[in-house]
């Protein structure tokens, strides 16, 4: 093998793991990714024939232009925020809970039972019972895949995914049959909840936002400072190590998924009783999936989750405004969210790895493309 | 198929494809000295037939025995390539470490040795149904290093895990100060003062959490201490800082993820933590795997220090030279069975090798 | 009798988009990539197929457009997970959200920019993809409707499945590809070009999903634009891969069985089985979950499951 031949075969760019980057540089890199994503989104908007600056401007002003708009934006943020916190618990343990949708629905179903059939209870007792029911509903729906994972190693990604649709069809069955509103003609739906069974408003928005803010603190403290939180991160990192340290991995798995599902279930209760004031198949609004993006974008950090949720909330509310003013579909928000995550996912690579260009040896061949720094 | 047979298949596979260059990465880790000889015979024959062979190994005597030229690597850099004929162990070591080192391992003799752990008829089955430990019985005393020899996969890992309470035991008893610890949870066993620092194939796989810093790793076994739902990180931080100064651990900070630290420093963190828990029994497996010679000797010193403090040490090793120099007694495992106990002060490498194949009795009988 | 034949024919028609989705996902999972973006790739294929068909009035071009557009979206996934080693679950999920959003966005935009205000496929292409009719064969009793009465999509799907099965099991390249899903490190060491294979397989899989999407838009929804026109079929396809045990030929039967489950509610007499519709809708998911649990309960290792599924491969991290 001649020396020259060897050089020809050496790749132009090689990937190597890098040592930890300083936090500031990581943040900078992520911001850069976000800006690039917005630029790419702008390019997309330009392609459809609109001025990206105008569109972005409208999104921002549309979401925040008036107290009413802000209230609507907050209403979008609440479920996103709570669900993201819920899946974060599971993701921290590297348990791929793709089932937030189903857990939200089951929480809403459990809570709705009391809203529909015990609406005459004392208001605060009813609210508390509904919240507990929602948490139990979501928790049990989360416990199921965890139990199978713990005992048989059943793949949780696919199992939780299947559970979403089962929950969805449970609701469509309820509204078709047992819980169908007799007052609705022809169209199958569940009756609107009694006012006594709906969440009170604080500053114009149902008080789910207060619960969401409290949950941020709870989840943050739980993951960061408690023994159980420590167990979650060790189990997530290596189950072998967790066993070695004397942790009961099964127990941690079940407990964490119960909690993760419970938080999502609580979100379902809040959506049904605070936002929709009834139970529909659309109770989640796809939040269970978007929350996964939010949690991942936020590096599973509860405080960052708040920021990203607000960003996504603005994007979504703003998109409904550009629909009314420019006739562009609200799906614009999904597209932009997708682009942002694609870019941030891509940028993670540059945080963890470094590109090394081939050393200059035989002049002409050198192409130092793409190598950062 | 045994591991050595699998390896033969692997080599045959590349030869069948018509390979001209053969690269072997630590091929002898799974072989007894006798099997190693056979492998080397094959390699020599291949060399005669015109094949080029690269063999990566940390066993210096193998380098000297088989190679024509040797390239020394240190921290990802090629230090030198020399003719093997002009090299000896001392020179190679110096090139590897970058400075002269003594190759003597100390072996203090503790007179008063009281038994601490007794394993009786222990039988353990792996998840795939094969026997990992087959009717194993042995005893270990305070102030003694029990070396465990055997080719990789002879049941060392499962033995450790069985003692630490991590494996289901089919049959037998493990008596720790006359109390049977079978059925106790790993957490209870840790409380008793049995400490295992197992270093599996992947150093960070068990014992340390790779993405966590030293402080968080110090908590691994003690996080339950204290009442209430919260973790107290202060003692862990103090312990981490203490280890850094006492063991000369090189790290940018006690919160730097341990995966970013060098192998030797990671090992110091792991062993340091286990020693600080003041165990009565310290189980350590392949603690010097992948370490440079300098770090290896630091580890041997640490183990000897524990022995002098009347701790019982189980040392699972792969380098027979080290086992013979460091241990008091050597227990040899083969296919999950104990094939022999040897006095490490008198035994030879060939004897240990013979027991490793499980053929010793037969040969003696013949 | 005719009732049963009608049912079976409808099952095949309902199962066809699933067949494409399943085959596409099999090609992803064979190289170790669990791509949760099937729904998104199908949506993009649906949008591209319908628009291309609308503008060119040519069935082949519409298929090619669906394939290429979906393959392009798979390229994003491949770039992120293969080259940039991003998390597969999150990337796939994003692809789904992005794909549905993008296709809805473009669909609505095209709808509003169309002259008539509708996006209805023109006559010629509709004729090209109509259920085939072979004189003689299609008129046979029983066999005629069961075998020779479907849209060309059905035959294309079955053909792709058979070709893939042959490729995966009978050619060297196909075996190489499967080796990557089981042990990319060993495959790499054996000189197989892991990255190239992964890209090729993921792109091909994405393209196949896209054709399934085109079926949704052009046949199921009658050739007019409807939002969310894939309607969750992509997720069923992900589940079907398990049901089919990662085998393309099994995917044919599996898709038709699931197709039958989807239409069962219209055929089972309510007077005999008074089960709610939702129960039938739930069936595919219930059965898949059961299969998941049963396969995991069996102690024996499943040899069809690509052992490295879900894990990215970084050469220097062996």
ipTM (interface pTM): 0.86
Give C202 or A3, the one with higher predicted confidence.
C202
d(CA A51, CA A42): 8
For B28, B196, B259, B263, B270, the CA distances from B203, given in Å and listed in that order, are 19, 14, 10, 8, 10
Query: What is the arithmetic mean of pLDDT over A7-21?
Result: 67
* Among the listed residues B272, B281, B277, the one whose alpha carbon sits nearest the alpha carbon of residue B312: B281
Distance from CA of A254 to the nearest CA of B (A): 18
Give yes or no for C41 touching A (CB within 8 A): no
pLDDT at B257: 86
Q: Which of A166-180, C18-32, C76-90 has the lowest mean pLDDT?
A: A166-180
pLDDT at C316: 65
d(CA A190, CA A167): 16
Residue A6 has pLDDT above 50, yes or no: no
Give yes or no for A230 touching B (CB within 8 A): yes
Query: What is the arithmetic mean of pLDDT over B230-259?
Result: 87
Query: What is the arithmetic mean of pLDDT over B208-221?
Result: 87
For the domain made up of B115-365, the CATH class stated in words is alpha beta
Give A358 or C282, the one with higher predicted confidence.
C282
Distance from CA of A231 to the nearest CA of B (A): 9
Query: What is the arithmetic mean of pLDDT over C76-85?
Result: 93
Residue A368 has pLDDT above 70, yes or no: no
Q: Which of B267-271, B302-306, C257-261, C303-307 has the lowest mean pLDDT?
A: C303-307
pLDDT at A246: 85
Give yes or no for C73 touching A (CB within 8 A): no
pLDDT at A127: 92
> For residue A343, what is the enclosing H or E element?
helix A332-352
Q: Which of A94-98, B277-281, B316-320, C271-275 has the lowest mean pLDDT?
A: C271-275
Residue of B nearest to A240 (CA): B206
Residue C45 · residue C218 · CB < 8 Å: no
Give A267 or A197, the one with higher predicted confidence.
A267
Query: What is the arithmetic mean of pLDDT over B198-204?
Result: 56
Query: What is the arithmetic mean of pLDDT over B49-54?
Result: 88
d(CA A312, CA A310): 5
The rounded mean pLDDT for chain C is: 87
pLDDT at B3: 66
In tens, the pLDDT along C252-300 reads: 999 999 999 888 888 877 777 777 888 888 888 888 888 888 878 876 6
pLDDT at C292: 83
pLDDT at C299: 60
Query: What is the arithmetic mean of pLDDT over C18-40?
Result: 94
Query: What is the arithmetic mean of pLDDT over B15-35?
Result: 79
Query: What is the second-level CATH architecture of the domain C2-297?
Result: Orthogonal Bundle (1.10)
Torsion, CA C75, CA C77, CA C78, CA C83, rounded to 10: 120
pLDDT at A259: 96
Residue C44 has pLDDT above 90, yes or no: yes
pLDDT at A370: 37
Query: What is the arithmetic mean of pLDDT over B337-342?
Result: 88
pLDDT at B361: 53
Chain A residues whose beta carbon lies within 8 Å of the beta carbon of residue C80 = 342, 345-346
pLDDT at B204: 64
Contact A244 B166 (CB under 8 A): yes
Provide the pLDDT confidence category of residue B198 given band limits of 50, 70 and 90: low
Tell me, rounded to whole angstroms, the distance of Cα C290 from its chain centroid. Answer: 21
* Among the listed residues B118, B176, B187, B178, the one whose alpha carbon sits nearest the alpha carbon of residue B146: B118
Angle, alpha carbons B54-B266-B322 (nearest 5°)? 60
Residue of A nearest to B259 (CA): A19
pLDDT at A358: 66
Query: Considering CB atoms only, which of C104, C239, C276 is closest to A176?
Result: C276
C93-113 b/e (C-beta count within 10 Å ≥ 16 → b): bbbbbbbbbbbbbbbbbbbee
Query: pLDDT above 70 covers what percent of chain A?
Result: 92
Chain A residues whose beta carbon lies within 8 Å of the beta carbon of residue C239 = 158, 161-162
Query: pLDDT above 90 covers what percent of chain A?
Result: 44
Provide the pLDDT confidence category of residue C302 given band limits of 50, 70 and 90: low
pLDDT at A363: 42
Distance from CA of C127 to the nearest CA of A (A): 31
Give yes or no for C310 touching A (CB within 8 A): yes
d(CA C181, CA C177): 7
Residue of B nearest to A22 (CA): B256
Query: pLDDT above 90 covers what percent of chain B?
Result: 8
pLDDT at B161: 84
pLDDT at A322: 85
Give C162 or A62, the one with higher predicted confidence.
C162
Provide the pLDDT confidence category of residue A359 given band limits of 50, 70 and 90: low
Chain C residues whose beta carbon lies within 8 Å of the beta carbon of residue A335 = 98, 101-102, 105
Residue B2 has pLDDT above 80, yes or no: no
pLDDT at A249: 92
Neighbours of chain A (3+ CB pairs under 8 A): B, C
In tens, the pLDDT along C181-202 reads: 988 988 888 888 999 999 999 9
Residue C82 has pLDDT above 60, yes or no: yes
Residue B31 has pLDDT above 80, yes or no: no
Structure tokens at B270: 């792991």
pLDDT at C159: 95
Residue A150 · residue A250 · CB < 8 Å: yes
Quick one: B116 exposed, middle or buried, by C-beta within 10 A (0-12, 13-18, 19+)? buried
Provide the pLDDT confidence category of residue C72 given band limits of 50, 70 and 90: very high
C-alpha gyration radius of chain B = 21
Tell me the CA end-to-end span of chain A in Å, nearest whole number. Answer: 33
Residue of B231, B233, B251 for testing the chain A interface, max A β-carbons within 10 Å: B231
Same fold, B3-97 and B115-365: yes
Query: What is the arithmetic mean of pLDDT over B261-265?
Result: 79
Chain A residues whose beta carbon lies within 8 Å of the beta carbon of residue B188 = 246
Residue C303 has pLDDT above 60, yes or no: yes
Residue B112 has pLDDT above 80, yes or no: no
Distance from CA of A19 to the nearest CA of B (A): 7
Give yes or no for B220 touching A (CB within 8 A): yes
Largest CA distance in chain C: 64
- Give the bridge partners for C183, in sequence order: none
Query: pLDDT above 70 covers what percent of chain C?
Result: 97
Tell me, rounded to whole angstroms, the distance of Cα C197 from its chain centroid. Answer: 20
Q: What are phi and psi of B107, to 5 degrees?
A: -145, 85
Query: What is the arithmetic mean of pLDDT over A285-314?
Result: 91
pLDDT at B364: 40
Q: What is the CATH number of domain B3-97?
A: 3.40.50.300
Provide the pLDDT confidence category of residue B8 given band limits of 50, 70 and 90: confident
Distance from CA of C125 to the nearest CA of A (A): 27
Provide the pLDDT confidence category of residue B359 given band limits of 50, 70 and 90: low
Residue B303 · residue B319 · CB < 8 Å: no
Contact C98 A335 (CB under 8 A): yes
Neighbours of chain C (3+ CB pairs under 8 A): A
Residue B232 has pLDDT above 80, yes or no: yes
Domain residue spans of chain B: 3-97, 115-365
Q: Which of A105-109, B279-283, B289-293 has the lowest mean pLDDT?
A: B289-293
């Amino acid at each position: 093998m001649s020396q020259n031949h060897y050089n020809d075969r050496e790749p132009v760019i090689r990937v190597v793991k890098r040592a930890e980057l300083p936090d500031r540089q990581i943040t900078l890199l992520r911001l850069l990714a976000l800006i690039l994503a917005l630029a790419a989104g702008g390019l997309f908007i330009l392609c459809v024939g609109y001025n990206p600056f105008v569109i972005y401007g409208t999104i921002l002003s549309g979401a925040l232009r008036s107290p009413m708009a802000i209230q609507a934006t907050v209403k979008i943020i609440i479920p996103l925020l709570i669900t993201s916190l819920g899946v974060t618990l599971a993701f921290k343990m590297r348990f791929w809970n793709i089932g937030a949708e189903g857990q939200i629905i089951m929480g809403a179903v459990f809570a709705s039972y009391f809203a529909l059939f015990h609406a005459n209870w004392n208001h605060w007792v009813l609210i508390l019972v509904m919240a507990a029911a929602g948490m139990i509903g979501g928790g049990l729906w989360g416990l199921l895949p965890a139990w199978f994972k713990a005992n048989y190693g059943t793949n949780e990604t696919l199992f939780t995914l299947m559970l979403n649709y089962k929950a969805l069809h449970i609701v469509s069955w309820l509204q078709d049959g047992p819980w169908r509103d007799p007052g609705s003609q022809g169209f199958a739906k569940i009756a609107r909840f009694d006012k006594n069974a709906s969440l009170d408003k604080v500053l114009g928005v149902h008080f789910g936002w207060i619960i969401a803010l409290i949950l941020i603190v709870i989840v943050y403290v739980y993951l960061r400072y408690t023994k159980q939180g420590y167990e979650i991160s060790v189990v997530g990192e290596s189950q072998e190590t967790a066993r070695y340290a004397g942790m009961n991995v099964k127990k941690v798995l079940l407990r964490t998924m119960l909690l993760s599902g419970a938080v999502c279930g609580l979100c379902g209760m809040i959506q049904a009783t605070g936002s929709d004031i009834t139970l529909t198949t659309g109770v989640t609004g796809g939040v269970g999936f978007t929350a996964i993006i939010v949690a991942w974008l936020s590096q599973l950090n509860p405080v960052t989750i708040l920021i990203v949720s607000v960003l996504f909330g603005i994007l979504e509310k703003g998109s409904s405004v550009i629909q009314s003013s420019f006739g562009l579909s609200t799906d614009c928000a999904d597209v932009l969210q997708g682009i942002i995550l694609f870019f941030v996912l891509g940028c993670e690579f540059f945080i963890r790895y470094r590109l090394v260009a081939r050393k200059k040896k035989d002049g002409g061949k050198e192409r130092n493309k793409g190598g950062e720094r | 198929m045994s591991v050595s047979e699998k390896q033969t298949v692997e080599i045959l596979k590349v030869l069948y494809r018509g390979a001209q260059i053969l690269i072997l990465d630590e091929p002898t880790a799974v072989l007894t000295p006798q099997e190693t000889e056979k492998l080397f015979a094959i390699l020599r024959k291949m060399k005669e037939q015109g094949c080029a062979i690269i063999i990566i190994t940390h066993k210096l005597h193998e380098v000297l025995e088989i190679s024509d030229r040797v390239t020394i690597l240190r921290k990802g850099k090629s230090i030198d390539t020399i003719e093997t004929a002009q090299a000896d162990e001392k020179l190679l070591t110096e090139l590897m470490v970058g400075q002269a080192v003594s190759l003597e391992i100390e072996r203090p003799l503790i007179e008063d040795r009281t038994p601490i752990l007794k394993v009786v008829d222990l039988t353990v089955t792996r998840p795939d149904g094969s026997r990992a430990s087959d009717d194993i019985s042995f005893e270990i005393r305070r102030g003694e290093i029990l070396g465990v020899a055997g080719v990789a996969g002879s049941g060392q890992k499962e033995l450790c895990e069985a003692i630490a309470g991590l494996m289901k035991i089919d049959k037998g008893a493990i008596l720790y100060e006359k109390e049977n610890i079978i059925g106790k949870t790993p957490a209870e066993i840790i409380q008793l003062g049995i400490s295992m620092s197992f270093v599996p194939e992947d150093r960070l796989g068990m014992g340390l959490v790779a993405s966590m810093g030293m402080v968080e790793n110090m908590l691994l076994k003690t996080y339950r201490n204290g009442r209430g739902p919260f973790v107290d990180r202060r003692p862990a931080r103090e312990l981490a800082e203490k280890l850094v100064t006492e063991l000369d651990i090189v790290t940018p900070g006690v919160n730097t993820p341990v995966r970013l630290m060098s192998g030797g420093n990671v090992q110091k963190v792991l062993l340091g933590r286990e020693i600080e828990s003041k165990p009565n029994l310290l189980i350590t497996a392949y603690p010097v795997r992948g370490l440079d010679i300098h770090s290896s000797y630091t580890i041997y010193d640490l183990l000897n220090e524990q022995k002098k403090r009347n701790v019982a040490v189980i040392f699972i090793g792969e380098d027979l030279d080290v086992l013979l120099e460091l241990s008091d007694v050597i227990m040899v495992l083969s296919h999950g069975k104990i094939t022999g106990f040897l006095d490490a002060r008198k035994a030879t490498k060939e004897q240990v090798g013979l027991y490793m194949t499980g053929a010793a009795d037969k040969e003696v009988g013949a | 009798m005719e009732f049963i034949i009608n049912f079976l024919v409808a099952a095949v028609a309902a199962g066809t988009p699933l067949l494409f989705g399943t085959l596409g996902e099999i090609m992803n999972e064979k190289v170790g990539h669990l791509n949760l973006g099937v729904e998104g790739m199908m949506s993009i294929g649906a949008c591209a197929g319908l628009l291309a068909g609308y503008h060119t009035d040519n069935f082949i071009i519409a298929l090619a457009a669906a394939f290429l557009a979906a393959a392009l979206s798979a390229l994003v996934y491949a770039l992120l997970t293969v080259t940039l080693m991003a998390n597969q679950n999150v990337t796939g999920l994003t692809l789904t959200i992005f794909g549905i959003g993008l296709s809805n966005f473009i669909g609505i935009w095209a709808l509003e920019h169309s002259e008539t205000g509708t996006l209805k496929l023109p006559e010629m292409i509709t004729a090209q993809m109509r259920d085939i009719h072979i004189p003689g064969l299609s008129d046979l009793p029983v066999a005629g409707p069961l075998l020779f009465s479907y849209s060309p999509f059905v035959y294309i799907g079955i053909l792709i499945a058979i070709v893939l099965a042959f490729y995966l099991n009978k050619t060297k390249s196909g075996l190489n590809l499967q080796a990557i899903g089981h042990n990319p490190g060993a495959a790499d060491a054996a000189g197989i070009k892991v990255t190239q294979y992964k890209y090729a397989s993921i792109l091909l899989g994405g393209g196949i999903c896209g054709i399934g999407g085109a079926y949704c838009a052009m046949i199921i929804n009658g050739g007019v634009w409807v939002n969310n026109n894939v309607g969750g079929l992509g997720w069923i396809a992900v589940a079907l891969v398990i049901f089919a045990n990662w085998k393309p030929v099994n995917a044919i039967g599996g898709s038709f069985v699931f197709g039958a489950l989807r239409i069962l509610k219209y055929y089972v007499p309510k007077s005999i089985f008074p089960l709610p519709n939702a129960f039938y809708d739930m069936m595919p998911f219930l059965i898949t979950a059961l299969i998941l649990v049963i396969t995991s309960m069996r102690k024996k290792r499943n040899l069809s499951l690509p052992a490295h599924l879900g894990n990215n491969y970084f050469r220097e991290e062996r």
